[in-house]
Amino acid sequence: MSGSDMYVSLDIGTSTTKVIIAEHTDGKLNVIGVGRAPSDGIRRGTVVDIEKTVEAIRSAVSQAEDMVGVTIQGVVVSMLNYQTNLSRCHGMIAIKNENNEITTDDIQDVIEAAQAIAKPSDREKISFESCVFKVDGVEGISDPTGMFGVRLEVEGTLITGSKSIVHNILRCVERAGLEVTGMVLQPLAAAETCLTKDDKDFGTVLIDIGGGITSVGVFDQGQLVDAFAIPVGGSQITKDISIGLNISLRQAEQIKLEHGYAFSADASENETFEIDVIGSSKALTINQTDLSVIIEARLEEILVMVDDELTNAGLNQLPNGFVLTGGTTVIPGMMEIAEQVFDSRVRIVYPDYIGVRHPSLSTAVGLISHEIEYGQSTEVDEYEETGVREQQQDKVKEPKAEEDKLVNKMKRMFGSLFE
């Protein structure tokens, strides 16, 4: 198997760590390996336990490797959209070559000049996006290599993260025995899977509702123009169900997936199921509508918080509407509740490749698409004998007050279950 067309992505999510191995041949992407592991060391977008995070990475990598029969050497890594900044920046240099021909070194120098001006000392660069060059005042140049001129300028978007958050993620990847071949902000990666060129050009909001975080990216005129995160996701819905019905988290997650409905007006009172109430020896029968009331309340809160943030930024009425993805969007009725909150067109999108057709994998697949377009393939080795790896804040709305109100509301609604 040739390493020249092999790509590997690592998506360290707030609930699950995902690894995908894919081949890119004749313009087609073929996913050949997938691994998953619980992200027990991640909370609200930050590493809270390095050892558990390293263990999750190794576990997910091992699963993917076993499917393919290779040893992964490097990965492109997603950076959670948490405490990140987007800064428009400009750089300019004089071309010093005797013949005034622009080289790749000149391009690197002007990009570094732009980044040096825009990056504060407490921030870490994640990526530099949407580069547009000028040569002697001539605008709109995408690649000036080989052109002649005396002055080279660049404009782009510098994406930075909290230095401690980024460094801790990189430390975990390196301690898992992997080389980081690239970093991509989560909304940019998910957009490669979920958005068309028209979506990016004409204005679309991409909302990824994950386990612990709801990540939002706003695209317009072909660029990411805003990004923020709400530190609430599907895991909080599971906790709400557990509290509201007085059942275990395990059963709460199970009934959410098997019977959950996001839009209570369309839920069925005829669909019933039993739950094991904590402290009671008898099972209790409830219906889908009862469950839907809990799910809808939390989802509505999340989406309203997103809408408030967009409204404050003047970005809530983009022509192409909203695209939803992320594991939580598998709950039926998601599109209906989102359309009610946003009063706009809403679509739910997920990867369209065999073996990864699930919205929770949008970012992991998008990382590979991003690397194919802008980065490089990943080095891998065939397994040796045993195949054993050598061990080697900014725009976030805190929902605490609303969260307490919601929990109290559920206790009033289902108070008899606590008696």
pLDDT digits (tens, 9 = 90+) for 27-49: 889 999 999 999 999 988 889 99
Instruction: Report pTM.
Output: 0.86
Question: Per the structure, how many domains does the chain have?
Answer: 3
Residue of 327 and 411 predicted with greater confidence: 327
| 209 shares a domain with 136 | no
| 237 shares a domain with 179 | no
Look at phi and psi of residue 343 and say left if phi exceeds 0, alpha if psi is from -120 to 50, else beta: left
Q: What gap in Å lies between CA 365 and CA 353, rounded to an integer?
A: 9
**CATH code of the domain in which 51 resides:** 3.30.420.40
Least confident span in 9-18, 196-205, 283-292, 369-378:
369-378
Helix (H, G, I), strand (E, B) or coil at 142: coil
Task: Record the tokens describing residue 3, joined without a space.
Answer: 């390493």
**CATH code of the domain in which 108 resides:** 3.30.1490.110
Helix (H, G, I), strand (E, B) or coil at 396: strand
Domain of residue 126, residue span: 85-163
| 127 shares a domain with 102 | yes
Query: Which residue has tokens 């073929």?
Result: 30
| 344 shares a domain with 407 | yes
| 66 shares a domain with 41 | yes
- Using alpha carbons only, how large is the chain's radius of gyration in Å? 23
Q: What gap in Å lies between CA 252 and CA 188, rounded to an integer?
A: 32
* 69 assigned to some structural domain: yes
* 28 assigned to some structural domain: yes
Query: pLDDT tens across 364-415, in order?
Result: 999 999 999 887 544 444 433 323 233 333 444 445 445 555 555 444 444 4
Query: pLDDT tens across 220-248, in order?
Result: 999 999 999 999 999 999 999 999 999 99
* 389 assigned to some structural domain: no
